[in-house]
Homo-oligomer: A and B are copies of this chain.
Amino acid sequence: PDRLSFAHRSELRQAKRIVVKLGSAVVTRGDECGLALGRLASIVEQVAMLQNQGREMMIVTSGAVAFGKQRLRHEILLSQSVRQALHSGHNQLKDMSLPVLEARACAAAGQSGLMALYEAMFTQYSTCTAQVLVTNLDFHDDEKRQNLNSTLQELLRMNIVPIINTNDAVVPPPEPNSDLQGVNVISIKDNDSLAARLAVEMKADLLIALSDVEGLYDSPPGTDDAKFIDIFYPGDQQSITYGTKSRVGIGGMEAKVKAALWALQGGTSVVIANGTNPKVTGHVITDIVEGKKVGTFFSEIKPAGPTVEQQTEMSRNSGRTLASLHPDQRSEIICHLAELLTERQEEILAANKMDMDLAVNAAMLNRLSLSPAKLNSLAIGLRQISVAAQDSVGRVLRRTRVAHNLELEQVTVPIGVLLVIFEARPDCLPQVSALAIASGNALLLKGGKEAANTNHVLHKLTQEALSMHGVKEAVQLVSTREEVEDLCRLDKMIDLIVPRGSSQLVRDIQRAAKGIPVLGHSEGICHVYVDANASIDKVLKIVRDSKCDYPAACNAMETLLIHRDILRTPLFDQIIDMLRTEIHAGPRFASYLTFSPSEAKSLRTEYGDLECCMEVVDSMQEAVDHIHKYGSSHTDVIITENEDTAEQFLQQLDSACVFWNASSRFADGYRFGLGAEVGISTARIHARGPVGLEGLLTTKWVLRGDGHTVADFSEHGTMKYLHENQPVGQPLAGQRDSN
């Protein structure tokens, strides 16, 4: 054709002329009792919005049959003097037996009502519509086709949305259809091919075909192995198995695909998606036009690399081999990666320079920039991780002699597939890779666009290191094109998400990740409580360090709580003098003051800057209550010389980190001596506070018997439970033997 369809979803944003095809399942409700009014209204809303953006929208609609059926049924019921039936209650209307209604008559009867509805709805958006009835034959007659074309062009020119339907009244009677069991309407085929023909004829950029299926699967949905197809290439067609059943009014997936491929060949991109899913209907069309992963996208150009789903599969498989390696082998891989970071630094720095040249500001330059010194210290860190790798996977945590010859072990194992999302800093890539390798996990990495070149090289080196033990594919770098939101939807494939970056990134991911656990913290509202018995020196040192050392950190102090007794003391003045930060006063503190700093808007604010909130409390107990109420359970500090008060605080306060006479800034994996840090977690389960390698591990239970059954242990059985705890010193037999 003279036009080419779009190669990537992201290009769909450029689509100017768009055909939206509504299958009858979208327009009518599942129970066939009427129109899916809310659904239709949402779709009209989206089409009108896109039209108002300056796009040229066309609608190909089904549903006139159901509409007419509803109307005719009503007429017939009324003629059966049905007022009583209407009053006698529940579902009467549905239960009454009705004659089989002819589809073409239904369509004719329904057409006017359907159009009136579209018109009423579009009017709300000041958008004009026009009704166009066509038959497939109109496309075969050149003159008719040209007439249709010029009419539609004229409508589009006048900013009118053409609403196109088949002129069913003039088509031949439908053939009896095997799909018909139990439904008293004779179906006519959906408008798939009509929409495709129209889209190509009108040189539309995009055809969105909405029905009640999510899109295309490689086998009939619901079967064991059915996989959803995100992007369909014409060459892949033989790998699809179509189901034999199709529902009434839906043209069947095979027909849809045929029509889609026809449109694609004609230069129109196609997306087949679900227009009936209540969770997305309100934005399915706009999402598609924004390039989001919705439905199945048809593309002529098959990209060179694997899809992210294939990458996940590859990394899981390769990760399983990685997990079964000897700990020494995992250490070797990490050491080799450390070597490559220094050996191949020229290559790395060259790629890094390309990224730096594109950086837009100094802050980004700073985050992006690598240097021989940085690579060197990265390598040192990696060697530390390689040591930790010796004692991570396969550690026996518990060993129990359940009975004679029945031995139970609880052993550490990797969690599975990790998705780590990081922003501009490329040094994150080897660090995170080393952590994943040390813990035997498969890893998907998603880095920022800004560091694409550096990340590419670093990932290549990581795979080179992995290759030495045949597990190259365990660490995958996801294309920067993939949306974080789309990745977070792979909940059947990914076991844990670790965001590394700003708290905004963490928050976004926690919101997006439905069903996948996220290891991280989004808030750090840390408190320092200055007790009545605090040492002046310690207060000044610790408060300054907690707030000013690095104010943007999550473990920086946000609220300073002060015991009432020190309000009018020299210590108080010294604290105020020292804190050269903007101070917001809590309501109680404000009431004590003669000078007046601005009142804090909320006692739950994370300032993340040289700004903090001050509040007064009567006692250690009140400080604890305040922190429980307004804190984020991250890190909280008491400064006091009274050991009893301190121990009460440490014991009562329910935060991930509780400190006595030490800066809140110590809440950090490295400072805690955990070696490599995965992150800081404010979740209550799994891992809490600074998380080391063990946050990437889970356990499994291994039971070795000799034909034991639970029946042996029943009342009349021959065996008794011993449940003797054994020492856990030795390595797991399986690990020992595997080399």
- CB pair B672–A701 under 8 Å, yes or no, is yes
| Stretch with Cβ within 8 A of B (4 or more), from A32-40, A138-146, A559-567 | A32-40
**Which residues of B have CB within 8 Å of A704?**
646, 650, 659-662
Q: Which of B159, B538, B648, B710 contacts A549 (CB under 8 A)?
A: B710
**Which residues of B have CB within 8 Å of A549?**
709-711
Q: How far is the CA of A725 from the CA of B644 in the complex (A)?
A: 26
Interchain nearest-CB distance for A442 vs B (Å): 11
| Stretch with Cβ within 8 A of B (4 or more), from A83-91, A248-256, A290-298, A327-335 | A83-91
- CB pair A53–B90 under 8 Å, yes or no, is yes
Q: How far is the CA of A333 from the CA of B651 in the complex (A)?
A: 21
- CB pair B689–A686 under 8 Å, yes or no, is no
- CB pair B37–A44 under 8 Å, yes or no, is yes
**Which residues of B have CB within 8 Å of A657?**
700-701, 703
Question: Does A415 lie at the interface of the complex (its beta carbon under 8 Å from any beta carbon of B)?
Answer: yes
- CB pair B709–A663 under 8 Å, yes or no, is yes
- CB pair A672–B400 under 8 Å, yes or no, is yes
- CB pair B400–A673 under 8 Å, yes or no, is yes
**Which residues of B have CB within 8 Å of A223?**
602
Interchain nearest-CB distance for A492 vs B (Å): 12
**Which residues of B have CB within 8 Å of A42?**
37-38, 41
Interchain nearest-CB distance for A623 vs B (Å): 14
Chain A positions 381 through 411: 1 when the CB is less than 8 Å from some CB of chain B, otherwise 0: 0000000000000000000101000101000
Q: How far is the CA of A496 from the CA of B685 in the complex (A)?
A: 8
Q: Which of B224, B660, B701 contacts A603 (CB under 8 A)?
A: B224
Interchain nearest-CB distance for A497 vs B (Å): 11
Give the residue name and chain of the B residue nearest to A644 (CB).
Answer: B737
Question: Does A499 lie at the interface of the complex (its beta carbon under 8 Å from any beta carbon of B)?
Answer: no
- CB pair B673–A721 under 8 Å, yes or no, is yes
| Stretch with Cβ within 8 A of B (4 or more), from A123-131, A259-267, A364-372, A426-434 | A123-131
Question: Does A655 lie at the interface of the complex (its beta carbon under 8 Å from any beta carbon of B)?
Answer: yes
Chain A positions 550 through 594: 1 when the CB is less than 8 Å from some CB of chain B, otherwise 0: 000000000000000000000000000000000000000000000
Q: Given A282-B278, A656-B700, A685-B517, does the pair A89, B53 have CB atoms closer than 8 Å?
A: yes
Question: Does A121 lie at the interface of the complex (its beta carbon under 8 Å from any beta carbon of B)?
Answer: yes
Interchain nearest-CB distance for A311 vs B (Å): 18
Which of A538, A665, A701 has the largest count of B CB atoms less than 10 A from its CB? A701
Within 8 A of B (CB), among A72-102: 74, 86-87, 89-91, 93
**Which residues of B have CB within 8 Å of A402?**
666, 671-673
Interchain nearest-CB distance for A281 vs B (Å): 8
**Which residues of B have CB within 8 Å of A224?**
602-604, 630
- CB pair B406–A662 under 8 Å, yes or no, is yes
Q: Which of B120, B686, B701 contacts A117 (CB under 8 A)?
A: B120
**How many of chain A's residues have a CB under 8 angstroms from any CB in B?**
117
Interchain nearest-CB distance for A391 vs B (Å): 12
Give the residue name and chain of the B residue nearest to A278 (CB).
Answer: B282
Q: Which of B671, B699, B737 contacts A647 (CB under 8 A)?
A: B737
**Which residues of B have CB within 8 Å of A90?**
52-54
- CB pair A658–B707 under 8 Å, yes or no, is no
- CB pair A710–B545 under 8 Å, yes or no, is yes
- CB pair A86–B708 under 8 Å, yes or no, is no
Q: Which of B538, B689, B725 contacts A699 (CB under 8 A)?
A: B689
Question: Does A495 lie at the interface of the complex (its beta carbon under 8 Å from any beta carbon of B)?
Answer: yes
Question: Does A109 lie at the interface of the complex (its beta carbon under 8 Å from any beta carbon of B)?
Answer: no
Question: Does A733 lie at the interface of the complex (its beta carbon under 8 Å from any beta carbon of B)?
Answer: yes
Question: Does A70 lie at the interface of the complex (its beta carbon under 8 Å from any beta carbon of B)?
Answer: yes
Question: Does A631 lie at the interface of the complex (its beta carbon under 8 Å from any beta carbon of B)?
Answer: no
Question: Does A449 lie at the interface of the complex (its beta carbon under 8 Å from any beta carbon of B)?
Answer: no
Q: Which of B538, B672, B686, B690 contacts A685 (CB under 8 A)?
A: B686
**Which residues of B have CB within 8 Å of A86?**
159
Can you list 20 contacts pairing A with B, beta carbon distance less than 8 Å?
A34-B124, A34-B125, A54-B87, A67-B124, A113-B123, A224-B604, A224-B630, A324-B651, A517-B685, A537-B707, A545-B711, A549-B709, A650-B702, A659-B703, A660-B702, A661-B707, A662-B708, A662-B709, A686-B686, A688-B700
Interface contacts beyond A37-B121, A657-B701: sample of 12 additional A-B pairs, CB < 8 Å, sorted by A: A37-B45, A320-B652, A324-B651, A402-B672, A496-B685, A542-B709, A660-B705, A661-B706, A663-B709, A663-B710, A673-B721, A690-B701
